Structure 1
């Protein structure tokens, strides 16, 4: 009896184990990324390959955690954000908190958020004040096209320096012209483009320092122009000297040399003759004559009047002295023209006049007769996807550029009919007046999306993700395009080209298949081995304009929400890195290269032309309307 009972017990336990094992085997599998994006499609062998690739990704990329960033709570406090119609510029803003809380944040993220909180608090106070008064006084609009001063007495002076205030920063083609006479009682003088003081940074950044050492009669000092930049966090960068007797720097800035070859040749001749004169113990008279001859090519001389114009290009500052280009200086990281709030002149310099012109100024909305025609059209049926969402990168004080786009390619019929939507993505500015003018513009035209950070170059990647959020969650579109506010886009040709392409896994633009990271620390696009350890990048499309398909955009939004994708500060290369992950985890990618996307200028039969100022943008549109030809403008 006992043996029989023991046998029954053993058999019973075996049955329980068998049933438990079968139940475990039938547990539902966790939904894959591909299934999330394609819920109605049947998945066969893809799951196993995705799972294997996910395991590989986890070993190469450590998922970041969330951190608390100073200012973030204020920026995302719902009681501080406008509601209903006034809240439309904040649609993407409201979905970016997790992205800004990552422990692997981009450079300047914490600074950009902290400064944005201050800027938004000031702007909100300004908005409430103006709303209470019902109207804006015209004399309160102080973003001026130009500012000037005659002689040093009309310029603001402090600590031995002379200051020319710049009301709303600088933009492309802004220029500063100084007419002055060097004072030989001092060794030289300096001209500095200075940013504004931060709340916790009493020493403002120096976006450009232009120091001049004057030639001396006794050859104790060699005449030279020294350019550099400074920030509180990084100190002085690597100085650039002109003339430079070291290894020649053949790099071009906006197509211009960094140092005029005539200046270099003159300096080399002067050095050679100086040594020759010293060896032969020349008389004082001949020494002076020869010195005057060889130093005459240096643009600054003791007691001689000069006119110096420093103007803003796409890639850097350029100095023209007495009508001749002398030097160019590439923008350093974090130091961009829009940051400039004053010009500081110091040292041995008697100033005759100073003029800043081509400064950013917003259009007077009360005088804009075609405002209703330029306002973003209402999307007729939000349940139906747009064909294309175009996200445009812009800076707060680029008022004129945005107006040029509204009066040109944003008037294509597909845009006005709501088939294509165009939105500007703009970070806050450190200047209170710029932010208020930007706010009025956003309310008037309904095509601006404000970003919860200050517009530093290294944070552009966050705008790329915001465009993907807009095109997948807010204004759903079949395709998403990114472009810049100095680009002309032939929307009709983009749409015609997309009709011929498979709408899945698409990257369309000027595709770079073989490029390497820049390892020069002073280069704007410098990437350290910690940021990208590999010798080359995956395929990517140049930033002035490219199109991705909706499935890629959804993959990017989901990947960053779950913090499974890497943040990378070069926004166009970042897109290539994310698409490489899409290729590994979802499906093959169609890389469609089209050389009609011009990333540096314009060529006939273009689809996209870059580096077009407002005048050229309007000219291109006029040519298309009148001549029906995609020809370029000079």
Structure 2
């Protein structure tokens, strides 16, 4: 028995030493990225339940993890010599039929099939996440964020789109960010790209030149409180339907969202970030926000779906 006593003492000393290390490490805290990652693994993590005031704005806007993250969609762009375009579609979780229709249209577009990649941006659903996961397994074109898919979270969806494009499709030349109900004439769009002398400075859409007045009525769909945004008007911005920009500008936006406090009107928010970065927004008369009567002349138009 006596010969075992030293071994027992050594084991106790080693155990005490390990306990001290664990206690010290627990006092140091956990990096924000790791904290968010752990929270997302434990529960349904969304901006609807995050206390934004207690979360650093850069972490809230950038570090929320993806629930679905296809990383190889743009791999075929490597070594491709023609114009490369990424189309990001802000889609509602329940709109399976609209996503199917957009895929159908994309398959018909043989002329630019190798030049265009289409990705759908979704948030979380309360009831449809299994179906969305299966849709992603079949088509591989869905990026889903860990925030609830609501109108007031469109800014989160937009930020996610820019972030994902800069991480996983930076080899594209241009980016289109659009709503589901916008249709693009890609022949006209690619002719527009070819006419640009400075492709890295492209950022165009239907421009609200004077910005527009901030709506303070809490009952209004576009309500923004003074606490959220104290100014009376917004800077120039594009309504969220259809924006066209170079990947150079998309990457610049993606890396600087932490500079501007988030508001829940996504198109006005991008205008605020662009202003902070001295990025010029240009107006295009070839984007029709009313209808598609002159589709053959337009770059993009809004249609009934």
* Contact 1:427/1:454 (<8 A) preserved: yes
Whichever structure has more strand as a proportion of its residues is 1
Residues 579 and 71 (structure 1), Cα distance of their counterparts in 2 relative to 1, 3 Å cut? closer
1:602 equivalent in alignment to 2:292:
yes
RMSD: 3.6
* Contact 2:188/2:298 (<8 A) preserved: no
Residues 524 and 458 (structure 1), Cα distance of their counterparts in 2 relative to 1, 3 Å cut? same
Which residue matches 2:203?
507
Deviation string 1:129-180 (CA, Å, 9 cap, x unpaired) is xxxxxxxxxxxxxxxxxxxxxxxxxxxxxxxxxxxxxxxxxxxxxxxxxxxx
1:461 equivalent in alignment to 2:155:
yes
Shift of 1:377: 7.6
1:491 equivalent in alignment to 2:186:
yes
Deviation string 1:419-438 (CA, Å, 9 cap, x unpaired) is 2211001112100xx22221
1:391 equivalent in alignment to 2:88:
yes
Q: Distance in 1 between matches of 2:111 and 2:263?
A: 33
Shift of 1:497: 1.1
TM-score of the superposed pair, with normalisation by structure 1:
0.37
Shift of 1:391: 0.5
- Which residues of 2 match residues 227-626 of structure 1 at below 5 A? 379-382=75-78, 387-409=84-106, 411-413=108-110, 415-417=112-114, 419-431=115-127, 434-476=128-170, 477-501=172-196, 502-514=198-210, 515-560=212-257, 563-583=258-278, 589=280, 591-604=281-294, 605-613=297-305
State the structure with bigger RCO (CA 8 A, min sep 6), 1 or 2: 2
TM-score of the superposed pair, with normalisation by structure 2:
0.72
Whichever structure has more helix as a proportion of its residues is 2
Q: Distance in 1 between matches of 2:166 and 2:74?
A: 18
Residues 415 and 75 (structure 1), Cα distance of their counterparts in 2 relative to 1, 3 Å cut? farther
Secondary structure at 2:259 match in 1: coil
1:75 equivalent in alignment to 2:28:
no
* Contact 2:33/2:59 (<8 A) preserved: no
Deviation string 1:525-580 (CA, Å, 9 cap, x unpaired) is 011222222222111112110112223222222213xx223222111111111111
Deviation string 1:464-509 (CA, Å, 9 cap, x unpaired) is 2222223222112222110012221222222211222222333211
Unaligned ranges ≥5, structure 2: 1-30, 44-51
Larger Rg: 1
Deviation string 1:29-83 (CA, Å, 9 cap, x unpaired) is xxxxxxxxxxxxxxxxxxxxxxxxxxxxxxxxxxxxx979997524258xx9xxx
Secondary structure at 2:255 match in 1: helix
Residues 378 and 104 (structure 1), Cα distance of their counterparts in 2 relative to 1, 3 Å cut? closer
Residues 452 and 411 (structure 1), Cα distance of their counterparts in 2 relative to 1, 3 Å cut? farther
Shift of 1:409: 4.1
Unaligned ranges ≥5, structure 1: 1-65, 81-98, 124-375, 614-634
* Contact 2:174/2:245 (<8 A) preserved: yes
Shift of 1:384: 5.7
Deviation string 1:359-394 (CA, Å, 9 cap, x unpaired) is xxxxxxxxxxxxxxxxx9874243669622111001
* Contact 1:424/1:447 (<8 A) preserved: yes
Q: Distance in 1 between matches of 2:276 and 2:144?
A: 29
Deviation string 1:78-127 (CA, Å, 9 cap, x unpaired) is xx9xxxxxxxxxxxxxxxxxx999434899x9xxx8xx99xx7xx9xxxx
Shift of 1:411: 3.5
